[in-house]
Amino acid sequence: MRDHHLLEVEEEEQNEINLTPMLDVVFIMLIFFIVTASFIKEAGLDVNRPDSPVTQTKPEEANILVAIDANNDIWIDRRLIDPRAVRANIERLHAENPQGSVVIQAHKRSSNKMLVTVMDASRQAGVYSISLADSTQ
Q: 56-66: per-residue pLDDT in tens?
A: 545 445 788 88
pLDDT of residue 25: 93
Per-residue pLDDT of the chain (137 residues; tens, 9 = 90+): 555 666 666 666 667 778 888 999 999 999 988 888 766 666 666 666 666 555 554 544 578 888 898 888 898 888 888 888 888 888 888 888 888 888 888 888 888 888 888 888 888 888 888 888 876 55
pLDDT of residue 130: 85
**Domain tally for the chain?**
2
Measured between alpha carbons, how far is 126 from 7 in angstroms, rounded to an integer? 83
pLDDT of residue 9: 61
3-class SS letters over 49-96: CCCCCCCCCCHHHCCEEEEECCCCCEEECCEEECHHHHHHHHHHHHHH
Is residue 22 in a domain? yes
Is residue 10 in a domain? yes
Whether 72 and 109 map to the same domain: the answer is yes
Whether 64 and 111 map to the same domain: the answer is yes
Whether 30 and 85 map to the same domain: the answer is no
pLDDT of residue 17: 79
Whether 115 and 73 map to the same domain: the answer is yes
Whether 29 and 66 map to the same domain: the answer is no
**Domain, as residue range, for 21:** 2-37
Is residue 96 in a domain? yes
